[in-house]
């Protein structure tokens, strides 16, 4: 039976991805509502994995940086400080629900190396079996430009494949995807993408780099198609609607999973260019 959007409330295992802009700076207080929604799903018996960006953005104020650093060493330093603070904030919000978080930091090489990949899968399976909430992020402190995932949307899709998730929820700053940037005339919402639909006529734009992170509509489409090809249903919606998303509400853009998926490859190069991902 192919998973549909309304089935999210009672899915067996769901990966949720939240971006830097949704939980850093003035939006740091949104961690609370996001955790509330995750805890509600957890209480229904859903196994939840959170992929959270935000280490560099969270660390920036402590390094007295006004914008995302461009050099690798300072990015790594900001990540080292920010990852610690970020996990503390999540655990503080989870404490009221008596849920314990487990930190999992990955590099692209971890998912390309069969032994590392197997170890990562085993660790997360054990965390889930112990009812621990895995919080996954790219290991920005040691990753280099050459071996980065490129964006955490792709990391979330690869993690969803790794743990055999039923669904992936990609949280954004807007409620759904549009046929072109939503501030342009003629932009219309996309509520559903059937598996195999041709999306090349739409204008999702290129990767957006802002003051706190990387990403954009194109990376979400690429990640959604990657996960959907493996039989994972994908919902793209706003971080402000995470509670409705996990409850199965008719919101966002739903990518129908492949009804006849093949096994995800155990290894393979991690490509970061959007034009390589969308195809």
Which residues are part of a known binding site for ATP? Answer: 17, 172-173
Which residues are part of a known binding site for substrate? Answer: 53, 140, 152
Neighbouring C-beta atoms of residue 60, cutoff 10 Å:
25
All structural domains of the chain, each given as residue ranges with its CATH number in brackets, are 5-278 (3.40.1160.10)
Q: What is the pLDDT of residue 273?
A: 38
For residue 72, give both structure tokens: 């690798």
Which residues are part of a known binding site? Answer: 17, 53, 140, 152, 172-173
Q: Rounded CA gap, 50 and 154, in Å?
A: 14
Q: What is the pLDDT of residue 263?
A: 59
Give the residue-averaged pLDDT of 39-65: 95
Structural element, H or E, at residue 37: helix 31-43
Tell whether the torsion through CA atoms of 7, 204, 145 and 228 is positive or negative: positive
Task: Give the pairing of strands 214-215 and 233-238.
Answer: unpaired
Q: Rounded CA gap, 230 and 95, in Å?
A: 34
Contacts of 200 (CB under 8 A, 6+ apart): 278
Q: Is the pLDDT of residue 45 over 70?
A: yes
Would you place residue 218 in the very low, low, confident or very high pLDDT band (cuts 50, 70, 90)?
confident
Give the residue-averaged pLDDT of 94-111: 93
Q: Burial, 207: exposed, middle or buried (Cβ in 10 Å; 0-12, 13-18, 19+)?
A: middle
Q: Which residue has the higher pLDDT, 52 or 211?
A: 52
Q: Is the pLDDT of residue 247 over 90?
A: yes
């Amino acid at each position: 039976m192919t998973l549909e959007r309304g089935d999210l409330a009672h899915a067996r295992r769901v990966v949720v991805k939240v971006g830097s802009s949704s939980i850093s700076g003035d939006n740091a207080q949104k961690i609370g509502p996001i955790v509330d929604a995750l805890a509600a799903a957890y209480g229904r018996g859903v196994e939840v994995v959170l992929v959270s960006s935000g280490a560099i953005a969270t660390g920036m104020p402590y390094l007295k940086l006004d914008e995302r650093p461009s050099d690798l060493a300072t990015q790594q330093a900001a990540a080292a400080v920010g990852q610690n603070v970020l996990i503390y904030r999540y655990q503080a919000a989870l404490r009221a629900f008596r849920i314990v978080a487990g930190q999992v930091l990955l590099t692209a090489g971890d998912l390309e190396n069969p032994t590392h990949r197997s170890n990562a899968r085993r660790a997360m399976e054990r965390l889930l079996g112990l009812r621990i909430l895995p919080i996954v992020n790219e290991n920005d402190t040691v990753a280099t430009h050459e071996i980065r995932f490129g964006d955490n949307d792709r990391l979330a899709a690869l993690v969803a494949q790794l743990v055999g998730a039923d669904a992936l929820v990609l949280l954004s700053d807007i409620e759904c995807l549009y046929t072109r940037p939503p501030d342009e005339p003629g932009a219309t919402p996309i509520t559903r993408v059937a598996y195999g639909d041709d999306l090349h006529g739409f204008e999702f734009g290129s990767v957006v780099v802002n003051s706190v992170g990387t990403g954009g509509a194109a990376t979400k489409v690429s990640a959604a198609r990657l996960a959907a090809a493996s039989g994972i249903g994908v919902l793209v919606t706003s971080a402000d609607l995470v509670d409705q998303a996990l409850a199965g509400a008719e919101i966002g853009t739903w990518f129908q999973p492949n009804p006849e998926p093949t096994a995800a490859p155990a290894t393979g190069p991690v490509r970061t260019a959007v034009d390589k991902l969308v195809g």
